[in-house]
Amino acid sequence: MKYIFRSFCFLTVLALLFTSCEKVEDLPVYTSGTAPVLSSSKTSVAPTATDSLNTIVAFTWTTPKFSTDTSNYKYILQIDTANGSFSKAVTKTITGALSTSFTAKELNVILLNYGFAFNAPHDLYIRLLASYKNNNEPVYSNTIKLTASAYKVPPKIALPATQRLFITGGATDFDWTNPGVMPAIRELTRLDETTWGGIFHLSGNSAYLLLQQGGNWDDKYSVNNSTNPTAEAGSFNFKAPNDFPANVAGGAGWYKMIYDFQQGKYTVTKVNNALSPDLYITGSATGGGWRNDPPAAQKFTQVTNGVFELTIAFVPGGEYKFLNTSGQWQPQFGGSSATGGTFGANYGSSSDPANIPAPAVAGNYKITVNFITNTYSVVKI
């Protein structure tokens, strides 16, 4: 029995020695890929709504020449804006193929989600990330530019039948009041075809609604859930079941509130300065001259929240500024263009803005000042 056991052990060791001496095949070596070259079928596109389902642009690229079969390659097309870093790019993933394309509708969605205006050219920057399916060995292509325009699509939320919006609510200075005739301070300003905005004081608690007209509680805009979306931003709808929340993170204060019917989104952003209900013009271009208590004829009319208008006869060669408090030189507002543009401001802690030059031609002019967009315009009438 001892002899048999020793023989078994000897044979086992011998087998192991033979096994350990067998030659193992070399492991495969995969070379790194090369950067693919990305190309576009067009450099500029301006589709219309009738092009919606048609292919509007196509992209092709060369193979990165990884060692394995091409079906194991993954490509991610990245699309970003001119000022983007591709960290939040729109992406499309393709496996195996060396091309992809977009319909006009697909590209239009990308443009509108970036907030681009309709029918205006905007630059997109595009590159390709190539890798194995498991994301190993990533290489980037060249970056190319595509200039594209978005076409108009119906807004997500139907526009107010009255084309007007008013605010009410316990979070506002107006409480839950709803008079038949709303004052201008409560009417949001129409900033473009599908966007309204205003600057309002919020208490930091309670809630508010937007109404199509005074005296009517039914035609309102609100949210589906009063806690999600948040008070600072989210989605809204017509006759949604909950009031807009006003528990903004900044607490009580003045807020710029924008409502975009095209996207069905709103934003609420805190601002540093209160919106005054008054505005005056002063300067050598006016009949009253330079004084901080201009005559009544030089007081603007507030037409909507944040927007003031005045018609005045200018003195050519003179200059002027705007004041929002009679008897005080600040806050004051001014600019450099005789026809309008962005205005500067001094609320008491900065340098005074430039004096606005009067138009060269004498006559009556309509001045519009918009504190939501911080712009003014001067038009001869």
141 and 198 together in one domain: no
Establish if 159 belongs to a structural domain. no
Give the residue carrying structure tokens 């681009």. 116
Q: How confident is the model at residue 110 (pLDDT cuts 50, 70, 90)?
A: very high
Query: Which run of H or E residues covers position 126?
Result: strand 121-132
Per-residue pLDDT, 228: 65
Is residue 98 over pLDDT 60? Answer: yes
Q: Furthest-apart CA pair in the chain: how many Å? A: 130
Provide the domain limits for residue 96.
38-149
183 and 136 together in one domain: no
**Domain limit, last residue, from 149, 176, 207:** 149
Mean pLDDT of 124-150: 95
Check whether the bond before 229 is cis (ω within 30° of 0).
Answer: yes
Beta pairing, strands 356-357 & 332-334: unpaired
Beta pairing, strands 332-334 & 344-346: antiparallel
pLDDT one-digit tens code per residue, 318-363: 999 999 999 999 999 999 999 999 999 999 988 999 999 999 999 9
Establish if 13 belongs to a structural domain. no
Is residue 108 over pLDDT 50? Answer: yes
**Residue 179 belongs to a domain with what CATH number?**
2.60.40.3620
61 and 145 together in one domain: yes
302's CB contacts (< 8 A; 6+ apart) are 184, 185, 277, 278, 279, 308
Establish if 171 belongs to a structural domain. yes
119's CB contacts (< 8 A; 6+ apart) are 46, 149, 150, 151, 152
Q: Which of 148, 201, 143 is nearest to 175 (CA)?
A: 201
Mean pLDDT of 151-160: 94
CB atoms within 10 A of CB 10: 10
266 and 285 together in one domain: no
265 and 342 together in one domain: no
Per-residue pLDDT, 31: 59
Per-residue pLDDT, 72: 85
**Domain limit, last residue, from 115, 149, 183:** 149
Is residue 5 over pLDDT 70? Answer: no
Strand ranges (E), 142-264: 144-149, 166-168, 189-192, 195-202, 207-211, 220-222, 233-235, 237-238, 244-245, 253-260
Q: Which of 325, 299, 326, 312 is nearest to 359 (CA)?
A: 312
Per-residue pLDDT, 229: 66
137's CB contacts (< 8 A; 6+ apart) are 30, 32, 33, 66, 131
Report which of residues 30 and 69 the model is more confident about: 69
Q: With beta carbons less than 8 A apart as the criterion, state whether 312 and 322 touch.
A: no
Task: Please provide the average confidence, as pLDDT, over all residues in the chain.
Answer: 91
Per-residue pLDDT, 28: 52
319 and 371 together in one domain: yes
Is residue 57 over pLDDT 70? Answer: yes
144 and 186 together in one domain: no
**Residue 48 belongs to a domain with what CATH number?**
2.60.40.10
199 and 234 together in one domain: yes
pLDDT one-digit tens code per residue, 242-301: 999 998 988 999 999 999 999 899 999 999 999 999 999 999 999 999 999 999 999 999
Query: Got the DSSP string for 224-240?
Result: S-SSSS-SSEEE-EET-
For CA atoms 202, 203, 207, 209, the dihedral sign is: negative
Per-residue pLDDT, 15: 45
| CB burial of residue 315 (10 Å; 0-12, 13-18, 19+) | middle
Q: How confident is the model at residue 162 (pLDDT cuts 50, 70, 90)?
A: very high
Q: How many domains does one find in the chain?
A: 3
Establish if 25 belongs to a structural domain. no
Establish if 23 belongs to a structural domain. no
**Domain limit, last residue, from 251, 270, 289:** 270
Is residue 10 over pLDDT 50? Answer: no
Per-residue pLDDT, 21: 45
137 and 213 together in one domain: no
pTM of the shown model: 0.75
Establish if 5 belongs to a structural domain. no
140 and 174 together in one domain: no
Establish if 14 belongs to a structural domain. no
pLDDT one-digit tens code per residue, 204-250: 788 999 999 999 999 999 999 877 668 999 999 999 999 999 989 88
Per-residue pLDDT, 12: 46
Establish if 184 belongs to a structural domain. yes
307 and 204 together in one domain: no
236 and 321 together in one domain: no
The neighbouring-strand residues paired with 257 are: 198, 268
Rounded-to-integer distance, Cα 209 and Cα 221, Å: 6
Q: How confident is the model at residue 32 (pLDDT cuts 50, 70, 90)?
A: confident
